[in-house]
Structure 1
């Protein structure tokens, strides 16, 4: 539960205030409006949150400054922001507290709101005319209760990969020797070691939870954003497989870790690449696929956007525009009509070439190690029917399947239809997922 705050007014630097999730850089946008008092800004912010709480999204939109309404105050954006909170923590109950930070003519009002299953923070930026400039989630991450800090130790490591270095963290049980080890391999997109998204850190939860349960882990910054990768070199091997191989070797050489019991745990794209990583290494004890997509990758990618557009009752104009663009691009990806450096569906052509040239199901059929497949049933990106069934029975080794009714793509619990914005709402990986992975790995 988030700490409850007293209402206060404090001057802060632009850099500090603009770091608010969903409002980054916004306080640097200065205005010549007359300065108002902090009470007026607080009134506007709380009125906005109350509108959201009562699902008055059009009315909430009207509180935005007219030149910011289409970008930040779109009713569709506001509805998805609110759905992220309610699907994670249940129904809205009340506003608990507010605090105000000031930078020149703008005030950022942090509103702490109580929901059925916890408190959450959002920040509303208000100008000198008491109009809303922006709003966003500002939850801070909290370590899950199932992690025992006294039962684990951590050390920083550096992975020397071609052309650059990747910072990483090894987390081990404080007691015990020759423990099994897990290398965590990222999903698609730029990711650092903890995989932070606002109020969530999927890999931090997994790493510390598994170490508490007797399994060592290594997590590391992905090549993007840690290093520069030219678009034409942005391939599955370059950004995922090659660096995972280095991480495996590094974990094998950690004191107290059994080098013969190393497992790759791949999330999303990392799970799709896991059979390739395992076959290249040749000595892994097992593979865990967390929400690993099995459909053709362009179809899977576009299906995510179709879901994002369809959620809620209000259209989000910016999202709809992206959908229209991607709908035109997907046929080009399928036909291969693009250049390696050209971006289509948000990725360079080199990525689409590399994914298209990797037969993950054929590779899985050659992967003769034990496999654990985990899937959240509220995951809109990867599903049991479209993806898990294609994997199940396709590996050469013995396969165990676990599904989690309440979990989304990050294996964090909630209820109702999943929305991508919920990834930033304070939450943790479900303890059952951590326990299942730990028990399976220890049993190898």
Structure 2
């Protein structure tokens, strides 16, 4: 993107605004009639601080009750790093708008970076104090998806105790038997799109694969669509059981080859694919996207410790949680907990179910073709700690393929520099090469 000349925005546009998030216009010098700063002034001053890496100064602009939370210097640093990871260096603010409601003003800004524009929102109270700031990008369909080449159908999966909304995407006008893919979520709550603001990884994969001739089914995860009691929160209940229902639903779709169904799991979903394959018995293949191999309690704590330390600012709130989790992890290792007791953010039943499932041995004992894909910029699941472990344990197993991608993060989206979770909300898409590699591998099943 060519550098833009820095200009003073002549007007403040009016736009709708809702929940907290955002950032601001770097240069406007407007004041109210009484000479005080306008909300846009306050917001632009915050962006100026962030762009200059003055995170402590930015923290002081927040209302006192939010300084330790929304205005934490470490949080602000990671937020700014998220923009930079996706789009490089900051250039300028190119647009602003404001909306005032119930005594709060939302300042929405469009920020220009080297590799694209992004949106943010800052919330300011009546006394010109900051209340919140976050990324507010909207999703854009990737260029490799041809909307005229695909057809979508909304479906409902009837699973135990509830129903899950889903979407089947097929090659438009498909007259033959297309292979099919069921997409399985990572840990935690998830929708059929796995939307995180400006990103929708499962939408990219579903529509991208369909453009290349592969039918797909994606669905809302049981959490938060259905109520699950803590003592019932197991790997089977929240992941495997529903994936098996989805497989059967896709097999019944006209134009889909029931003998060529593949399960593609992301994160914890990838770790679960050997179990899904074993219980189904007739899958044509499974693929693990950033599938963790190491003990999951170790992985969970190490992810948090990374978030604490990745920037120059120490995130005290997260450090406190990490200290508590370091104690809880010993309980998990010793098995000293109740099924409903929460440890490392998950009920004891979840940890019991993982302890009872040997993912490495299950994969090693399976004859289902298996494909592992891993981004080198992924801080949650890593090549060294996870993919290498899969390779070692599955050495000599036929039908096993491994692929790595230098610049991709946990969502298989491109970026640069340290990977941070805030980048998942910045407008981006699953890399086209990942979709192409999956489609090629599935075509051989």
Q: 1:59 aligns with which of 57, 60, 75?
A: 57
CA distance in 2 between counterparts of 1:9 and 1:149 reads 32
Deviation readout 1:10-59 (Å, 9 max, x if unpaired): 485xxx512x4579xxxxxxxxxx99999711011011111101111111
- Counterpart of 1:412? 413
- Give distance in 1, aligned partners of 2:253 and 2:337: 44
List runs of 5+ in structure 2 lacking aligned partners. 2-8, 24-31
SS at match of 1:72: coil
Distance change in 2, residues 1:147/1:326 (3 Å): same
Q: CA deviation at 1:75?
A: 0.6
Change in Cα spacing, 1:17 to 1:37, as seen in structure 2 (3 Å) is farther
Q: Measured at CA, do residues 120 and 36 of structure 1 come closer, stay the same or move farther in structure 2, by a change above 3 Å?
A: farther
Q: CA RMSD in A?
A: 2.0
Give the structure 1 partner of residue 28 of structure 2.
Answer: none
- 1:104 Cα offset (Å): 2.5
Say whether residues 1:184 and 2:199 are aligned partners: no
Residues 161 and 243 of structure 1 are in contact (CA less than 8 Å); yes or no, is this contact kept in structure 2?
yes
Q: Shift of residue 67 of structure 1?
A: 2.0
1:129-168 deviations in whole A, cap 9, x for unaligned?
1111111111111111111100000001111111111110
Q: Across the two proteins, how many residue pairs are aligned to each other?
A: 428
1:438 & 1:7 partners in 2: Cα distance? 48
Aligned counterparts of 2:153 and 2:36: Cα–Cα separation in 1: 44
- Partner Cα separation in structure 1 for residue 401 and residue 326 of structure 2: 36
Task: Single out whichever of 58-67 and 370-379 deviates more from structure 2.
Answer: 58-67
Partner of 2:90: 92
- Structure 1's 367 and 65: CA in aligned 2 closer, same or farther, altered over 3 A? same
Indicate how the Cα distance of structure 1 residues 80 and 55 shifts in structure 2: closer, same or farther if over 3 A, else same: same
The SS at the match of 1:183 is strand
Match of 2:153 among 155, 176, 179: 155
Matched with 2:70 is 72
Q: Which runs of 5+ in 1 are unaligned?
A: 24-33
Check the 8 A contact 1:289/1:372 in 2, yes or no: yes
Q: In structure 2, what is the equivalent of residue 432 of structure 1?
A: 433
Q: Residue 324 of structure 1 aligns with which residue?
A: 323
Which residue in 1 is equivalent to 2:27?
none
- 3-state SS, counterpart of residue 392 of structure 1: helix
Aligned partner of 2:349 in structure 1 is: 350
Q: Do the aligned residues in 1 keep the contact of 2:340 with 2:349 (CA within 8 Å)?
A: yes
- Secondary structure (helix, strand or coil) at the match of 2:118 reads strand
Q: For 1:197, what is the secondary structure of its paired residue?
A: coil
TM-score when scaled to structure 2? 0.93
2:420 corresponds to 1:422: no
* 1:258-297 matches, cutoff 5 A: 258-297=257-296
Aligned partners of 2:332 and 2:361: how far apart in 1?
Answer: 22
For residues 229 and 312 of structure 1, what CA distance do their matches in structure 2 show?
Answer: 36
**Aligned with 1:181: secondary structure?**
strand
Paired position in structure 2 for 1:204: 203
TM-score of the pair, normalised by structure 1? 0.93
User: SS at the partner of 2:179?
Assistant: strand
- Offset of residue 306 of structure 1: 1.1
Could you tell me how far apart the structure 2 residues matched to 1:8 and 1:208 are?
38
- Residue in 2 aligned with 1:251? 250
Matched residue SS, 2:65: helix
SS in 1 for 2:164: strand
- Alpha-carbon distance in structure 1 between the residues aligned to 2:428 and 2:224: 24
Secondary structure in structure 2 of the residue aligned to 1:266 = strand
Separation (CA, whole Å) in 2 of partners of 1:209 and 1:440: 14
Q: Aligned with 2:132: secondary structure?
A: strand
Displacement of 1:229: 0.2
Deviates more, 1:319-328 or 1:86-95: 319-328
